[in-house]
Structure 1
Amino acid sequence: MHLAKRQRTIDVTAMVQLLLQLPSFLASLVIVVVLSELLLPDMGWLGGLFWLASGAMAFHRPTERALARHLLNLRHPTPRELSRLEPLWRAVTARTGVEGRAYELWIEDSDHLNALATAGHIVGVTRVSLERLSDGQLAAVLAHELGHHVRGHAWSSLLGQWYAVPGRLAWAGVRRLIRFVTGIRHGRLGFWAAVLLLVAGAAVFLVALKYWFVTLALVAAPYLLAAVTRRAELRADHHAAAAGFGPMLAEVLHMMQATDRESESVMASALSGCGKTVAMGTRTPLRNRGEGLWGKLLSSHPQYHTRLHHLAPYLTQR
């Protein structure tokens, strides 16, 4: 087996992912420093420094396992599952020159065809993927997820999400406060609640207007980040296809597309029987689907036909 000299790289999509999450990172940093100043006066920098250093936990093996088990609902494979996964994983890593023992294989008890790459060393597949996919198709899925790791997509995405947590928690708290205030409608308390909401809204508006460039970045970042993430999926497809798994990956995409259409047809029939017409967006494997234009713009995975179009050169070559 030939091992590549460089086991991991960081491609353009991973670097852009990190850059696009910079506004959320800065907002979170401000929140952490302000809270640290309130708790430890004149020592706010210490809390910010500790929080910055905590990003290294994303590559800490015990932390990765805790993340997989408790947040992603993954489990270790059974001996029977491992006996099927390990030979395929060795074949995939041997073709790409990657040390396969550096990664861990996990299982998700899900009824959907799906797989994931997260943290620094975790590759997960669903139980149904093991049951329904052939060896070649399952190897193609593993090669796709390995592409996310070796190109830096997995760790850059996790790092960006980790550093955005304080900002997201603060925003969730603001939304809860708004719902609470708007829910008070009776008597003098309701009047002062409306005044408080109006004053707070005016203050937020003035701050957003003064720092319009930050506001614009925060509004546009999710759409730009989704576009870059879709590009990362195409690059992971390219990684699998370049290793010779293009035809098998195309088979998996066709299977998912057929399953998707069948699910939509069943849901449409059920809804038509109730006299309702709704544009459905079902949960689909290896792809997030949304409703309408905004849902597509925020989707983290490209359309099936887009992925198959990019795989076409590898299929005709074969």
Structure 2
Amino acid sequence: MTKPAESPGPPPEYPRYPEAPAPAYVPSQPRPEHDDLGYRHPPGTRVHYRARQRTADATALGRLALHLPGFLTSLLVVLGTTTLLEAWLGLPAWVPTSLWLVSGSLTFHRPSERFLARHLLRLQHPLPSELAVLAPVWREVTARAGVDGNRYELWIEDSDDLNALAAAGHIVAVTRRALERLPEAQLAAVLAHELGHHTAGHAWTGLLSWWYALPGRLAWLGLAAGTVKLIRIASGFSYVAAGILIVLFGWITFATLTLTYGLPLLLLALPYLSAAVGRRAELRADRHAAALGFAPMLSRMLHDVLAEETPASDDGGVLSRLLSTHPDHRTRLHHLQRHLELQG
């Protein structure tokens, strides 16, 4: 007779160990001691928000105007591409063209901004300990400016540079080195500078100018690379054929310039003009920070950065300086001097 199977008993109990806490953020070097230069609001102070949280100053509008030829070129490229798609796939050309025209609104679309921050700008969300340092300083800066700081998102750039950036419609980022090294008052001055880029419209106009000029820029790079490759192939068969191609492309270029009254030549000067506008935007952002009372903190930070620079790092040649979108530190200090004298 078969012995009935015994019913299984309860599973054995194993000792439970408390879960290990998440590792705390440990900076690579201790933060400087508090350097309060009077930027904090007294407790209980009522904050008044401005009616207009952001505008578009002359620098922002100038940047849009400079990129108008690039936008028109991109529009022609998109129209030509969509016309080919219409002939090939039967898709009406106005559909993708309209989608491209309205795509600029994604500048203020939060999910699109987060995608831009993570995958293109390589930014990271602040750790809780980083946010504990960054958020109170940001609240003080935006309260002094009369701006709702909750409209913006704070990010961290994993970089050893002492830098910060403002991008799209709501992105404000600082490098990890700036967060670790700068005293709170100087960190507040840097954030006030980046807030100035947002409130003056520099951030969103810069992104829009880059986005709407992208199709034309890609088409120009593809045309230039294809032309060079075609001439190299022709020169492999015959130098006469390569010479004919060069003359043909030269004639097409001359005819294009004649028909358009030389307007494409403006595209050659666009990088220099755009860089000059970028330098002006940086000085205006410095002025915004100085108007909020951060001129001494910003000046002290620039002096410290200037003292660390080597002579070779500041000598990039005339061409590189003309193409730089940021003024040198001495120029920024010169423009801050007036605010220091007024506040002194």
The size of the alignment, in residue pairs, is: 294
1:6 aligns with 2:52: yes
- Does structure 1 retain, via aligned residues, the 8 Å contact 2:231–2:245? no
Mapped partners of 2:235, 2:252: distance in 1: 25
1:77-100 CA distances to partner (integer Å, 9 max, x unpaired)?
Answer: 111111100000000001000000
The 4+ residue runs of structure 1 with deviation greater than 6 A are: none
From 139, 161, 165, the equivalent of 1:112 is 161
- Does structure 2 retain, via aligned residues, the 8 Å contact 1:114–1:126? yes
Mapped partners of 1:185, 1:112: distance in 2: 47
Mapped partners of 2:332, 2:209: distance in 1: 25
Q: Secondary structure at the match of 2:258?
A: helix
Residues 1:101 and 1:209: Cα distance change in structure 2 (over 3 Å):
same
Q: Where do residues 127-146 of structure 1 align in structure 2 (5 Å cutoff)?
A: 127-146=176-195
- Does structure 2 retain, via aligned residues, the 8 Å contact 1:184–1:190? no
Mapped partners of 1:186, 1:239: distance in 2: 57
Mapped partners of 1:29, 1:216: distance in 2: 18
What residue number does 2:170 align with?
Answer: 121
What residue number does 1:20 align with?
Answer: 66
- Does structure 2 retain, via aligned residues, the 8 Å contact 1:109–1:127? yes
1:29 aligns with 2:54: no
From 211, 214, 219, the equivalent of 1:170 is 219
| Aligned-pair CA distance for 1:19 | 0.5
From 80, 83, 86, the equivalent of 2:129 is 80
1:189-233 CA distances to partner (integer Å, 9 max, x unpaired)?
Answer: 776455434423331232123323412321222222211211111
Larger radius of gyration: 2
TM-score relative to the length of structure 1: 0.87
Q: What is the aligned-residue identity percentage?
A: 53
Mapped partners of 1:165, 1:221: distance in 2: 14
Mapped partners of 1:232, 1:139: distance in 2: 19
What residue number does 1:56 align with?
Answer: 105
What residue number does 1:270 align with?
Answer: none
| Aligned-pair CA distance for 1:295 | 1.8
- Does structure 2 retain, via aligned residues, the 8 Å contact 1:181–1:197? no
Mapped partners of 1:47, 1:201: distance in 2: 33
1:234-268 CA distances to partner (integer Å, 9 max, x unpaired)?
Answer: 11001111111111111121122222226x3xxxx
Residues 1:200 and 1:24: Cα distance change in structure 2 (over 3 Å):
same
Q: Where do residues 103-252 of structure 1 align in structure 2 (5 Å cutoff)?
A: 103-184=152-233, 187-188=236-237, 192=241, 195-252=244-301
- Does structure 2 retain, via aligned residues, the 8 Å contact 1:178–1:197? no
Mapped partners of 2:244, 2:304: distance in 1: 56
| Aligned-pair CA distance for 1:185 | 6.8
Mapped partners of 1:132, 1:182: distance in 2: 54
1:314 aligns with 2:314: no
Mapped partners of 1:186, 1:6: distance in 2: 62
What residue number does 2:142 align with?
Answer: 93
Letter matched to residue 72 of structure 2: L
RMSD over equivalenced CA pairs, Å: 2.0
- Does structure 2 retain, via aligned residues, the 8 Å contact 1:153–1:232? yes
Structure 1 stretches lacking a partner, 5+ long: 265-279, 282-289
More helix by share: 1
- Does structure 1 retain, via aligned residues, the 8 Å contact 2:306–2:329? yes
Letter matched to residue 325 of structure 2: S
Letter matched to residue 27 of structure 1: T
From 84, 104, 114, the equivalent of 1:38 is 84
- Does structure 2 retain, via aligned residues, the 8 Å contact 1:116–1:145? yes
1:302 aligns with 2:327: yes
